[in-house]
Amino acid sequence: MAKFEPIKGGYVYLTVEDIEYRVYYEEAGQGIPLIVGHTAGSDGRQYRHLLNDEEVTSRYRVISFDLPFHGKSLPPHGDKWWTREYNMTKSRMMAFPNALSEALELDRPVYMGSSMGGHLAIDLASNFNDRYRATISVEGALRSAAEYVEVGMDGIRREFDNPNVSRTSTGAAMMLNISPYSPEENVREIQWEYQCGGPGVFAGDLYYYYYDHNVSPEEAAAIDTSKCMLYFLTGEYDPNTSPADTKEAANLVKGSKFWEMPKLGHFPVTENYDEFRKFLLPILEEIEGKSA
């Protein structure tokens, strides 16, 4: 007997900043909509374990999407994208889940993202609290760690967008973010996903991750968690946004909740989903309770 997963995929056309994009998304389950956003340079495959988690999908309609230039979302037709450097910006990062939510006619979805998606969860809670009932920032912070920010875009492109260096090395570099406790087959899967990325896309995504996402203490303090609850989850082994970095943000956002996840790294959703879900399920239960 053949084995199937409950995940269904499709394409939706989204117009962002006057450019029409053909965007791939996958979904499973029914109930409260939960949009999930992937990390820089990767794609929605990171959420395959979550999409197969019946304890979640019995209550939530989980929607994972590939940002344009990532995964199965090709660069846009009708736009000469090859004539300029790819860089992801904060406005565009926020626009894609907003456009997806509108296109799928979702009613105040929950947004959860990891890494740059985790940063985005904060930006959405700050700028679009009328559109989301809650956001979950996985590995997010006010800004990324200074040691990496100080490298600058030239240094980032030297490592991650360099003709002398293959995509294999981008996957290898992700070891810096991964917990030594994570099962090796999951580590290799994360690396594989990074090795599959488009040229220059990971480096360009880091423009948002390291520079365009930069939340001031005043902005963080102004986030209204009574309109859009903000949850923070950060792995012990994440050097880019350490638990201390996330805690700094959580302390500023009144009413937010923060958990440090021991023995997990920067990719907890894929590194070790069984451990990650122990933190996620109570959050989803709380959101469900408030939504009743």
Partner 1 sequence: MRDFAQVLQTATQDFEFNREMRYYTGNLHVAIGDKAWLAAYDDGKFLSVEPSGTDPQGAAIWIKGTEEQWKDMTAEYPRPFFQSLQSSSAKHGVLLSNTHQLYAYLPALNRLMQIFRQLNREGA
Binding site for partner 1 (CB under 8 A): 145, 147-148, 158-159, 162, 164-166, 168-169, 171-173, 175-181, 236-237, 239, 242, 265
Nearest to 47 by CA among 31, 70, 69: 70
Three-class secondary structure of residue 128 per DSSP: coil
Residues 6+ apart with CB under 8 A from 259: 232, 233, 234, 279
Instruction: Please tell me what DSSP assigns to residue 82.
Output: G
Nearer residue to partner 1 within complex by CB, 74 or 173: 173
Q: What are phi and psi of 58, to 5 degrees?
A: -75, -15
Q: What angle do CA 144, 210, 249 make, to 5 degrees?
A: 30
Nearer residue to partner 1 within complex by CB, 11 or 192: 192
Cβ 236 to partner 1, closest distance in Å?
6
Nearer residue to partner 1 within complex by CB, 159 or 275: 159
CA distance 170 to 8: 29
Element (H, E) at 28: strand 19-28
Cβ 104 to partner 1, closest distance in Å?
38
Cβ 204 to partner 1, closest distance in Å?
17
Nearer residue to partner 1 within complex by CB, 58 or 168: 168
Nearer residue to partner 1 within complex by CB, 22 or 157: 157
Cβ 155 to partner 1, closest distance in Å?
8
Report the DSSP pairing between strands 32-37 and 110-114: parallel
Cβ 228 to partner 1, closest distance in Å?
31
